[in-house]
Structure 1
Amino acid sequence: MATTETNILNRLYFVSGSLFVFALAVVFKLCSIQFIQGDGYRELAEKRTVKDFEIPANRGNVYSADGSLLATSIPKYDVGIDPVTSSNKNFEAYIRPLCDSLQAFTGESASSFQSKLRKARETDNQYVLLARDLSYSDFIRFREFPLLNLGAIRGGFVFSQKTKREHPMGRIAERSIGYEKIDENGYATRVGIDGAFGIKYLRGENGKRLKQKIGNGQWKPIADFNQIEPKDGYDVYTTIDVNIQDIAHHALLGQLEYYKADHGCVVVMDVKTGEIKAISNLGRNKNGFYYERLNYAVGESHEPGSTFKLMALASGLEDKLIDTSDVVDTEKGILSFYGNKVRDSRNGGYGKITVAEAFEVSSNTGIVKAIDNAYRKNPSKFVDRLYSMNLNDSLALPIIGEPSPIIPDPRIKNGRWSGIALQWMAYGYGVSFTPLQTLTFYNAIANDGVMVKPRFLKEVRKFDKVIVPFEKEIINPKICSEPTVKKLQALLKNVVEKKHGTGHRLYSDNFSMAGKTGTCQKDYATKDKLNYISSFAGFFPADNPKYSCIVVIHEPDKSVGYYGADVSGPVFKRIAQKIYTDTPIIEEVQSLDFKNDVVNEDFGHYNDMANKYKQLMPYVVGMPAMDAVALLENLQVNVKLNGSGVVRKQSIDKHQKLKPNQTIVLEAS
């Protein structure tokens, strides 16, 4: 009996002891969670329900040299409501006037909105989207609607902000103005000025706002203020002159259309400073329309053809192995090197002519004979002279995508050298440069031998305060001697002024120009597939030049014409005369019918150049209404929008001068 009682007591003590130990373990675990692991668990809980969201900073604007807007960031807002968070009293008091306001704005019935919001409240749906892609003015209007004006906590007001980059000049210089796009993985695509100077100046610093998860993947701001306010980016002022840009763009566009060319580019540069005043790059799409497809001037390297003859003669003149008065035999138009033939620009050649005449008529055999005689025994000397003029150096442009020049060198393994490299280089084959690299050399000749770096920026500003000024950069203070420069300048003038010059059809009695034509073959497979690159590089006025310019057009229709003097030269002339005389130009080749809308493929861009000045009314008919409103608000005018969708009518005609705070009425479908 005693043994049985003892066993029972022992079991009782064991159970009691086990319960006591378990209780101690529970207490210990609770204390551990509360005081040791508590911070970690609290942080984990907050991460799952509360999160910092980045508020994108307003990207800085891009302006032309005279302050015309080239690129701007327009804020867009998505607005919604959390119908659960507000009290019954507030919800019932303001639900009807809120829905009336929504009806007036969207056109959707108030009863439909009310039904949607009541159902969301009954089912604890904490997010209902009310409107998407609102402009700032409409966002402010929404924020004042009944119930929403009570804020995030009492009224359930929820919104998200994003920015959209707009180019008020449309697709004119769009590739050069550029953009910066960052994908969901953080990979950035940077193009043009906007891309080159985005990180350092334009991007700004993003802000932060604390939001709480409310279900269905939606987040609601916890407070009506930001934890960290975003800091806007700086504004950059480019060297682009919108007047010259307009002239260059349309001159190139008209010629591309006439010759049905694949693509082309034009660059206008200030001789003394290197400032790029205009840059246009147009390529043809599958429908035959031209738009800013790629930045050919900066990023496309190709054999220059006859425009390289200036570099070749500069070498011979500077080394005193060639003089412009030397006589060369063009050998009836054909020279042979190791079984490979150099054919002259005219069947039968030009007989015996001076080196100067060979350049002026662009005689291939004449120039090749002169260079071969001078450097056959020491081709490295020719290459070294090209190097001394910085022709082997890239321009180190901030705009991404510039390839390095290609110059064959007999001393470098795999340096593209061959038994005919010297002779082919003499007339522009076997070497490769971008249009801007070629123009930089021509600009140096116009600038009396001073080679300046092409420059796209004048300064960086914060409001009206200059933060970073950009000054002229000299690549080489003297690429060759003064006598050599003077001879080269005279050669370029004679190409246009002398009757036998390849550029004489561009000659004008009341305006002087200097330059060199270039016609280069591409695609050597068969004669049927043979295409051409037509170019013209030079400067104007011929005496005391102000601007240098290059025009390059790829693959013009051979049945219409392909020589540089016919295809690219007229673009050069049109630009020069428009800039300096502003007189109508009568072309010998063709008359042009400019179509302002051919470069526009979507409604996101203007159909003309009406907005090249900030004070002129642009043409916004056909644009999405929200985009049109945002664009006009950037011009410091008031906008009244009737309807939504696409703009069908504007109260002020295009090209009309705008006044500050003027009201413009837009009628939309």
Structure 2
Amino acid sequence: MKGKGIKKGMVIVLLISVWGFFFLRLGHIQIFRNGYYSKKSHKQSVKKIIVHPERGKIFDRNGKLIATNIKTKTLVAFPRKIKDKKKTALILSEHGYGSFDNVYRGIKRNNFIYLKRNLEKNPPKEIKEIEGIELLQDRKRFYPYGILCSSLIGFVGTEYSGLEGLEFEFDSLLGGKPGWSYLQKSPSGVLYPHPALQVKSPKSGKDIVLTIDVDIQSIVLSELEKVLDDTSAKGGIVIVINPKTGEILAMVNLPGYDPNHPLQYDKKLWINRSISELFEPGSTFKIVAATAAIEEKVFKLNDVVETGEGVTIVGRVKIKDAEKHGPLTFVEFVQHSSNVAAVKIAKKIGKNKFYCYERSFGFGARTKIGLPGEEKGYIGNPIHWTPLKFATMSFGQGVSVTALQLVFAYSAIANDGFLLKPLLVRSIISSKGDTLYTSTSCMVRKVMKEETAHILKKILVGVVNCGTGRFAKIDGIEIAGKTGTAEKSKPVIGYEKGEYIASFIGFLPVQDPQLLIGVFIDEPKGLYWGGYVAAPLFRKVAQRIICLEDYNNKVVSDFIVKSTKMEPNETIKDN
């Protein structure tokens, strides 16, 4: 009896010890490890879902939608629910949703995979019936005008962040701020909302209104396409601005790409060549020498600056004009685009002063337009200029510029001597419709006296009326402009044989400039001079723009523009 009592006591002690241990352990967990296990339980039973915000829209100056968002569907897989993974991978691969190996590997290794995002059409019934394959609501950035504004707007990636153009530069504004929500997870893995769990609403992105006019952009694109086809040119750039405000009304680069399907195009087409492609400007650069000469009173307008020989020697190099001419006055040097005269004028001005006027026009510095990839160009330091480099620089060789720099340099003449900063964003609007920002014209500096600008306007009018820019002329409207034909430089040294950039930059009407148009044609075949290739394109674009209601009253006053066809009977050469 006594032995049985001892055994019974030992069992009771053992049970009490075990229970005590468990109670102590439970107390330890409750008191000291409560936070750890609460987090672990929360992680297993609750899932945090990121809620993406609505990306801001982009509009042109008249409220036309350039970039927006549309709802789409995305095909996804939940591998845990898929019973026959091999068969599923085979069916998916047969319908073009990836290779068998990639799909099968993804289904085996992941709990969730995207099969195809932003479907253009619903998947076949055979796929929709597979357990574990589901269609989810998704979103997609959509560009209604396709190629029209691609070089400006850019595009977004699969994660909805900007990768090029305005979409990249203003990503933080357009993108908004994401929110989040916690969803309860059932034992089977199904997620559902729970009122006790936290939710943070996303903040939609801001809308951006541009200075661009889609109607002008469309005119430029259609006319540029025709010229590239007619001349078999490699590409082209056309920029249209309001020289009084600095607003960019159109900026077109060809060849372009469709931002709705950017990966179908060469990545080189994604860049905005108006601001990122450097080239030697040729004779359009002669405004630097002309401006400096007038400002510094080096020559009077009727002074003979070139005796008619059409040739000058710098060191061992002979510089010649493109065609023979008689003696040229200062005014005629610009109208006939004489390289020899430009060299002689620059020599009188001197290196240091010439450099100051280059910088004053904005060459060698970025315009700060607010787009990614802008280049500042190259003019060098006058200390390192050889006599030959200085000579060729006077007529636009040995320097590099962007198309936008040249356009705004000419805007300083049109705007009575004041250089303005380019404006591309007109306003920024909140998701509630409140205007957060409105752009205003910003003067960079005064480049020349108003009197000098008026003299240059008259000289550039002569270029169009009786000089190398005759094919830019529109009856009844006074136009000022300058042609250019520049040899394309090689990557290291020298020039590409037979490869040129033909250009024309002009503004109208001269009395009160409302439009300034820069035209640049890359490697036109056949007749390649700026006066023959670029000037007629300027004319066609200008004629169509001033027929638009918004610009007709600004440009045309007491006459009706007649669309007359001009057939050149002679070749217009310029340097």
**After the TM superposition, which residues 418-567 of structure 1 pair with which residues of structure 2 at under 5 Å, given as runs?**
418-462=386-430, 464-476=433-445, 478-498=446-466, 501-524=467-490, 529-557=497-525, 560-567=526-533
After TM superposition, give the deviation of residue 373 of structure 1 in Å.
Answer: 2.9
- Aligned position for 2:193: 222
After TM superposition, give the deviation of residue 435 of structure 1 in Å.
Answer: 0.8
After TM superposition, give the deviation of residue 449 of structure 1 in Å.
Answer: 1.1
Distance (Å, rounded) in 1 between the aligned partners of 2:52 and 2:373: 27
Q: Is the 8 A contact 1:180 1:198 kept in 2?
A: no
Q: Does 1:167 align with 2:143?
A: yes
Distance (Å, rounded) in 2 between the aligned partners of 1:25 and 1:408: 84
Q: Which amino acid aligns with 1:70?
A: I
What secondary structure does 2:460 align onto? helix
**After the TM superposition, which residues 214-363 of structure 1 pair with which residues of structure 2 at under 5 Å, given as runs?**
220-223=191-194, 227-283=199-255, 293-329=270-306, 332-346=309-323, 349-363=324-338
Q: Is the 8 A contact 1:522 1:531 kept in 2?
A: yes
Q: Does 1:65 align with 2:61?
A: yes
Q: Is the 8 A contact 2:141 2:156 kept in 1?
A: no
After TM superposition, give the deviation of residue 182 of structure 1 in Å.
Answer: 6.7
- Identical-residue share of aligned pairs (%): 30
Q: Is the 8 A contact 1:158 1:220 kept in 2?
A: no
After TM superposition, give the deviation of residue 131 of structure 1 in Å.
Answer: 11
Distance (Å, rounded) in 2 between the aligned partners of 1:427 and 1:127: 63
Where structure 2 has 5 or more consecutive residues not aligned to the other structure, the ranges are 82-110, 123-131, 258-263, 549-561, 570-575
- Of 341, 354, 372 in structure 1, the residue corresponding to residue 347 of structure 2 is 372
Q: Is the 8 A contact 1:507 1:513 kept in 2?
A: yes
Q: Which whole-Å deviations, capped at 9, do the CAs of 1:614-661 have from their partners, x for residues lacking one?
A: xxxxxxxxxxxxxxxxxxxxxxxxxxxxxxxxxxxxxxxxxxxxxxxx
Distance (Å, rounded) in 2 between the aligned partners of 1:131 and 1:418: 60
Distance (Å, rounded) in 2 between the aligned partners of 1:129 and 1:440: 48
After TM superposition, give the deviation of residue 589 of structure 1 in Å.
Answer: 6.1
- Aligned position for 2:108: none
What secondary structure does 1:442 align onto? helix
- Aligned position for 1:76: 72
Q: Which amino acid aligns with 1:383?
A: Y
Distance (Å, rounded) in 2 between the aligned partners of 1:79 and 1:284: 31
What secondary structure does 2:387 align onto? coil
After TM superposition, give the deviation of residue 194 of structure 1 in Å.
Answer: 2.8
Where structure 1 has 5 or more consecutive residues not aligned to the other structure, the ranges are 86-125, 139-155, 591-669
After TM superposition, give the deviation of residue 262 of structure 1 in Å.
Answer: 1.3
After TM superposition, give the deviation of residue 512 of structure 1 in Å.
Answer: 2.6
Q: Is the 8 A contact 1:355 1:367 kept in 2?
A: no
CA shift in 2, pair 1:587/1:183, >3 Å:
farther
Q: Is the 8 A contact 2:73 2:119 kept in 1?
A: yes
After TM superposition, give the deviation of residue 133 of structure 1 in Å.
Answer: 4.6
More moved, 540-549 vs 293-302: 293-302
CA shift in 2, pair 1:419/1:47, >3 Å:
farther
Q: Which amino acid aligns with 1:64?
A: D
What secondary structure does 2:309 align onto? helix
Distance (Å, rounded) in 1 between the aligned partners of 2:509 and 2:395: 26
Q: Is the 8 A contact 1:313 1:322 kept in 2?
A: no
CA shift in 2, pair 1:223/1:588, >3 Å:
farther
After TM superposition, give the deviation of residue 408 of structure 1 in Å.
Answer: 2.0
After TM superposition, give the deviation of residue 222 of structure 1 in Å.
Answer: 3.4
Q: Is the 8 A contact 1:425 1:431 kept in 2?
A: yes
Distance (Å, rounded) in 2 between the aligned partners of 1:129 and 1:315: 63
After TM superposition, give the deviation of residue 49 of structure 1 in Å.
Answer: 5.0
Distance (Å, rounded) in 2 between the aligned partners of 1:490 and 1:219: 77
What secondary structure does 2:71 align onto? strand
More moved, 20-29 vs 304-313: 20-29
CA shift in 2, pair 1:421/1:74, >3 Å:
same
Q: Is the 8 A contact 2:164 2:270 kept in 1?
A: no
Q: Which whole-Å deviations, capped at 9, do the CAs of 1:265-318 have from their partners, x for residues lacking one?
A: 111101211111111111279x999x9643111222221111100122112221
After TM superposition, give the deviation of residue 513 of structure 1 in Å.
Answer: 1.6
After TM superposition, give the deviation of residue 576 of structure 1 in Å.
Answer: 1.0
Q: Does 1:38 align with 2:10?
A: no
Distance (Å, rounded) in 1 between the aligned partners of 2:28 and 2:541: 80
Distance (Å, rounded) in 1 between the aligned partners of 2:322 and 2:201: 66
- Aligned position for 1:569: 535
Q: Is the 8 A contact 1:50 1:213 kept in 2?
A: yes
What secondary structure does 1:76 align onto? strand
Q: Is the 8 A contact 1:51 1:211 kept in 2?
A: yes
Distance (Å, rounded) in 1 between the aligned partners of 2:190 and 2:458: 71
Q: Which whole-Å deviations, capped at 9, do the CAs of 1:439-479 have from their partners, x for residues lacking one?
A: 11111110111221111121122354322111111112x21
After TM superposition, give the deviation of residue 199 of structure 1 in Å.
Answer: 0.9
Q: Is the 8 A contact 1:263 1:284 kept in 2?
A: no
What secondary structure does 1:511 align onto? coil
Distance (Å, rounded) in 2 between the aligned partners of 1:573 and 1:515: 11
Q: Which whole-Å deviations, capped at 9, do the CAs of 1:376-426 have from their partners, x for residues lacking one?
A: xxx112212333444343211211111113222234xxxx63332211110
CA shift in 2, pair 1:424/1:18, >3 Å:
farther
CA shift in 2, pair 1:30/1:452, >3 Å:
same
How many residues align structurally? 502
- Aligned position for 2:157: 181
Q: Which amino acid aligns with 2:483?
A: T
What secondary structure does 2:500 align onto? strand
After TM superposition, give the deviation of residue 213 of structure 1 in Å.
Answer: 6.2
- Of 586, 595, 618 in structure 1, the residue corresponding to residue 565 of structure 2 is 586
Q: Is the 8 A contact 1:71 1:167 kept in 2?
A: yes
Quote the RMSD (CA, aligned, Å): 4.0
Distance (Å, rounded) in 2 between the aligned partners of 1:382 and 1:356: 19
CA shift in 2, pair 1:36/1:506, >3 Å:
same
Distance (Å, rounded) in 2 between the aligned partners of 1:32 and 1:312: 88
CA shift in 2, pair 1:19/1:425, >3 Å:
farther
- Aligned position for 2:164: 191
Q: Which amino acid aligns with 1:263?
A: G
After TM superposition, give the deviation of residue 357 of structure 1 in Å.
Answer: 0.7
Q: Is the 8 A contact 2:72 2:137 kept in 1?
A: yes
So what's the TM-score if we normalise by structure 1? 0.67
Distance (Å, rounded) in 2 between the aligned partners of 1:17 and 1:452: 95
Q: Which amino acid aligns with 1:74?
A: I
CA shift in 2, pair 1:532/1:131, >3 Å:
closer
